[in-house]
Amino acid sequence: MTGYAFLAETADSYSRLIAADSGGDIVSVICSDPERQPWDVALLGVFARRIGGARRVLDVGCGPGQMTALLAGLGVDAFGIDLAPGMVERARRDHPELRFEVGSMLDLDLPDASVDGILACYSIIHVPHELRPQVFAEFFRVLAPGGGLMLIFQVGDEVSRRTEAFGMPIAIDWYRQQPADLAELLRSAGFELSFQGVRAPENGEKTPHGYLIAVRPAAA
Ligand SMILES: C[S@@+](CC[C@H](N)C(=O)[O-])C[C@H]1O[C@@H](n2cnc3c(N)ncnc32)[C@H](O)[C@@H]1O
């Protein structure tokens, strides 16, 4: 794994948060809750249909694997990678039929052109803005030509560092995203944009949420 200090801090913080979770009290706050995020679920369905059945789809920054399981339920061959060993342990426990590995989106341990789809659901939000080109180059590398990428994220310009959550010391940086910036970075990485959307905050959320679907062009 690349040696940025923030990666170790993020991994350690998320592992400690998930270890302290009791019956979903922490997970439902720090991770996606499909019951409370119907837009995410609906657009994930569109994405899975765009990819097509039985194709390999990576859920990167998968957390406890609930969106990976949702993807698998939509018929694709989904697997998850997460920076935090504690998250991977929880995902394996909750979804023993699926495959989960520890890894970083900055440096994926996957061969070139080896997946047909990538979902990054509220996970690029922990990557410093200046490292997004590196992440999108990695996504482009591991996607097969014709493969699709879906990004889900909180919209805005705010950058913040959380040092406490649920009474525990943590060190996690959050970066809001502007869809237009992401679209430009994806185009620069070689992707073609196929969908861009923003929805209003729901259920007490603080910001609008954004969705981008992009495709690695099929080989000429
Ligand atoms: C807000 S949680 C979202 C988890 C899940 N995708 C969901 O929607 O519930 C962010 C997750 O991204 C992971 N993450 C953060 N930086 C990462 C990186 N560089 N590579 C892989 N995973 C990362 C964290 O460990 C954490 O599990």
Q: Is the CB of 84 under 6 A from ligand 1?
A: yes
Cα distances (angstroms) measured from residue 153 to each of 50, 111, 114, 166: 20, 26, 25, 23
Q: Which two tokens stand for residue 206?
A: 């603080």
Q: Using CA atoms, how far apart are residues 79 and 99, in angstroms rounded to an integer?
A: 5
Cβ distance 45 to 73 under 8 Å? Answer: no
Q: What is the pLDDT of residue 71?
A: 96
- How much of the chain, in percent, has pLDDT values that exceed 70? 99
Cβ distance 67 to 44 under 8 Å? Answer: yes
Cβ distance 57 to 77 under 8 Å? Answer: yes
Collapsed DSSP state (helix, strand, coil) of residue 192? strand
Q: Which two tokens stand for residue 34?
A: 């499909």
Q: What is the pLDDT of residue 94?
A: 96
Q: Which two tokens stand for residue 26?
A: 């922490």
- Match 């170790």 to its residue by tokens: 8
- How much of the chain, in percent, has pLDDT values that exceed 90? 91
Q: What is the pLDDT of residue 220?
A: 60
Q: Using CA atoms, how far apart are residues 52 and 147, in angstroms rounded to an integer?
A: 10
Q: Is the CB of 172 under 6 A from ligand 1?
A: no
Does pTM top 0.85 for this prediction?
yes
Which ligand 1 atom sits closest to the C-alpha of 61?
Answer: 22
End-to-end CA distance of the chain: 33
Q: Using CA atoms, how far apart are residues 29 and 20, in angstroms rounded to an integer?
A: 13
Per residue in 28-42, pLDDT (tens digit) is: 889 998 888 999 999
CB atoms within 10 A of CB 207: 15
Domains of the chain with CATH codes: 5-215 (3.40.50.150)
- Please report which confidence band the pLDDT of residue 2 belongs to, taking 50, 70 and 90 as the band edges: low
Average pLDDT over residues 6-34: 94
Which ligand 1 atom sits closest to the C-alpha of 135?
Answer: 19
CA dihedral 50, 203, 69, 48 (to 10 degrees): 0
Average pLDDT over residues 178-195: 98
Q: Using CA atoms, how far apart are residues 145 and 66, in angstroms rounded to an integer?
A: 27
Does the pLDDT at position 1 exceed 70?
A: no
Nearest CA to ligand 1 atom 18: 104
Per residue in 130-166, pLDDT (tens digit) is: 999 999 999 999 999 999 999 999 999 999 999 999 9
Average pLDDT over residues 67-80: 96
- Please report which confidence band the pLDDT of residue 18 belongs to, taking 50, 70 and 90 as the band edges: very high
DSSP lists the bridge partners of residue 80 as: 59, 100
Q: What is the pLDDT of residue 54?
A: 77
**Span from the CA of 187 to the centroid of ligand 1 (angstroms):** 23
